[in-house]
Structure 1
Amino acid sequence: MIEHDDLHASLNRAVLISLFSWRRAEPDDPVDDEQRYGWWGDSFPGVANDRIGSRLWLLQRVRLTEQTRRDAEFYAREALQWLIDDGHCRAVEVLGERAGINRLNLRTTLVLNDGERLDINLQESWQVTYAL
């Protein structure tokens, strides 16, 4: 049986890997060049459409707008959906919060199967900074 602290550490690590690994861009995603990036293993998934990482990297050079906030939340939820699908938790909550004129922070909470809420501290781990 996994101990409580070990479970939290494992879930925290899983969230960080899921958010900060670069998922391959979709065909209709705007990119700066022809590179779609992503992990090569996603080309041969064991489960159909199973992919690792997030598309947060697409927001590196975009203007910080309300749409950017919504896109960041969507990309984060998309990257973490596997935690629900695989039965590790029953819900994922993501909240994008603007911090000043050029920074967006993500707050992530997992609702575990027993109802416990696990806040994943991403402070200073991820941010969108508007770059000219």
Structure 2
Amino acid sequence: MTIITIDDQKTSLRRAVEISLFTWCRAAPSDQLDDDERYGYWGDSFPLVAGDQLGSRLWLLRRRKLTPETIGDAVTFARDALRWLVDDSHVIDVQVLTERAGPSRLNLGTILTLPNGERLEIYPHENWQVLYAV
């Protein structure tokens, strides 16, 4: 018998959030692209559930200026990527937080409400950063 502790659950949820946000989901037909490539996770070519996709479309924002519209799109893309956590009953609510960190950096955070009512705050930018060569 395997016993899953609340700490194991929190570790798994943190990992799930990072994978969901930072894996590139295939661009929707209506998305504006920089080139002809729609990218996407190769595993989505064979979904177990029709139409199921892994990842987010945050990658579409990589060349956009950091405007209120871009921030709104980041929140929408993050919510879309994390919706499965609620749909599959792993959590009962997902909140997406934003923090502007300078003129060209946006940090995303999430607050997950677990089925027992406990809230789990996750700030992926603390573990996952893009490094720029100067």
TM-score normalised by structure 1 residue count: 0.90
1:81 aligns with 2:83: yes
Residue 107 of structure 1, CA deviation: 1.4
Q: Which has the higher contact order (CA 8 A, sep 6+)?
A: 1
1:122 aligns with 2:124: yes
Residue 119 of structure 1, CA deviation: 0.5
RMSD between aligned residues: 1.6
Q: Is the 8 A contact 1:105 1:126 kept in 2?
A: no
| Residue of structure 2 in register with 1:30 after alignment | 32
| Residue of structure 1 in register with 2:51 after alignment | 49
What letter corresponds to residue 115 of structure 2 in structure 1?
N
SS of 2:72 mapped into structure 1: helix
Residue 40 of structure 1, CA deviation: 2.5
Give the unaligned 5+ runs of structure 1: none
CA deviation vs aligned residue, 1:59-88 (integer Å, no higher than 9, x gap): 001010001111001100100000000110
SS of 2:34 mapped into structure 1: coil
What letter corresponds to residue 89 of structure 2 in structure 1?
G
TM-score normalised by structure 2 residue count: 0.89
Q: Which runs of 4+ in 1 moved over 6 A?
A: none
Find the partner of 1:91 among 90, 93, 96. Answer: 93
Find the partner of 2:61 among 45, 59, 62. Answer: 59
Q: How many residues align?
A: 128
| Residue of structure 2 in register with 1:107 after alignment | 109
Give the unaligned 5+ runs of structure 2: none
